[in-house]
Amino acid sequence: MKHKKKRIEKEYKEILTLTGKYLEQKKEQGERQVYLSENIEFSKKNKSLAMPENLLAELEKKLKNCRECNLGKSRTNLVFGAGNPNAWLMFVGEGPGHDEDMNGLPFIGRAGKLLTKIIEAMKMKREDVYIANIVKCHPMIDPDQPQKRGNDRPPRPEEIAQCKPFLLKQIEIIKPEVICTLGTHATQSLLEITTPIGVLRGKFCSFENCKLMPTYHPAALLRNSNLKKFVWEDMKKIMKEHSKN
Ligand code: SF4
């Protein structure tokens, strides 16, 4: 709620600044009258167009037929991202897998179900946060077999380079307070470093006007349940950080 209030305050400040500039300009042009009702309608219209949900929908529409990298040729569905456009917390994974590719939604397979449990343990629902990936199309070992399970691989640097600007745009629109990167590839790609996740996890870094917390990918927890306690420690740090704002 506080996060939303801060966003609304910021938006109103921006509107006031723009209105001030507009009035100054009109004054310089020699005008002594402005028609308030027309301007109010104009502001409302622009404000609704600039709502995060509309901006995300517009971006998703633009990406619908994206073939900027090879992943676009073999995907079944583009997995744009899902969740609350006003979320204070955003999770970022590396890329869609088989189930996500078949359904067009992020984190819905086994790892995704574990992520949902983690979110619920944080006393939230999946719909409260926003979930996206570094790349929006399924990276496959064999692109000729999109239906095959276990055909997943991490995204390649050139695929990340093509797709990352779209994720950055999503972050710019949502303006989360905290981004939680899931696993090595998401963390290293966003921070542009090669430090191992075991070293990075559990420590906040600054990223694009918000805080970024790296942690292990839920798929890693399915392989090694000893990692669960570290992820929970990281989630507690995220909740503590949020409670300060
Ligand atoms: S992965 Fe990203 S850049 Fe590549 S085709 Fe899909 S949307 Fe486009």
Nearest CA to ligand 1 atom 2: 163
Percent of the chain surpassing pLDDT 70: 86
pLDDT value of residue 1: 54
Q: How much distance in Å is there from the Cα of 164 to the middle of ligand 1?
A: 9
pLDDT tens for 201-213 read 999 999 998 999 9
Q: Is 183 left (phi over 0), alpha (psi -120 to 50) or beta?
A: left
Average pLDDT, the chain: 90
Among protein residues, the one with the nearest Cα to ligand 1's atom 5 is: 72
Residue 81, pLDDT > 80, answer yes
What is the per-residue pLDDT for 12? 64
The CA R_g of the chain, rounded to the nearest whole Å, is: 21
The residue whose C-alpha atom lies closest to atom 3 belonging to ligand 1 is 163
In this prediction, residue 2 carries a pLDDT of: 60
pLDDT given for residue 7 in this prediction: 62
Distance 175 CA to ligand 1 centre (A): 22
Counting residues of the chain whose pLDDT is more than 90, the rounded percentage is 78
What pTM does this model have? 0.84
Q: Which H or E run includes 101? A: helix 98-103
What is the Cα–Cα distance from 131 to 37, expressed in whole angstroms? 40
Q: Of 84, 181, 67, nearest to 133 (Cα)?
A: 181
Determine the average pLDDT of the residues in 72-87: 97
* Ligand 1 centroid from CA 66, angstroms: 6
Which pLDDT band, with edges at 50, 70 and 90, does 231 fall under? very high
Nearest atom in ligand 1 to the alpha carbon of residue 135 is: 1
pLDDT for 38 beyond 90: no
Residues 90-144 pLDDT 10s: 999 999 999 999 999 999 999 999 999 999 999 999 999 999 999 999 999 999 9
- Give, for ligand 1, the residue of 152, 163, 168 to mutate: max count of ligand atoms closer than 8 Å to Cβ: 163
Domain boundaries, the chain: 2-49, 68-244
Q: What is the DSSP string of 74-98?
A: H-SS----EE-TT-SEEEEES---H
User: pLDDT value at position 63?
Assistant: 97
Residues with CB under 6 A from ligand 1: 63, 66-69, 71-72, 78, 135-137, 159, 162-163
Helix or strand (DSSP H, E) at 59 = helix 52-63
Looking at the domain 68-244, which fold is it?
Uracil-DNA Glycosylase, subunit E (3.40.470)
pLDDT digits (tens, 9 = 90+) for 139-183: 999 999 999 999 999 999 999 999 999 999 999 999 999 999 999
* Cα 220 to ligand 1 centroid, rounded to whole Å: 25
Q: What pLDDT is recorded for position 44?
A: 57
Question: Pick from 185, 174, 191, 180: which is nearest to 234 by CA?
Answer: 180
Is pLDDT of 42 > 60?
Answer: no
Closest alpha carbon to 204 in 196, 195, 213: 213
State mean pLDDT over 74-88: 98
Nearest-atom index, ligand 1, CA of 69: 4
Please state, in angstroms and as integers, the Cα–Cα distance from residue 22 to each residue in 19, 25, 31, following that order: 5, 5, 11
- Kindly give the pairing relationship between strand 89-93 and strand 178-182: parallel
Confidence class for position 88, pLDDT limits 50, 70, 90: very high
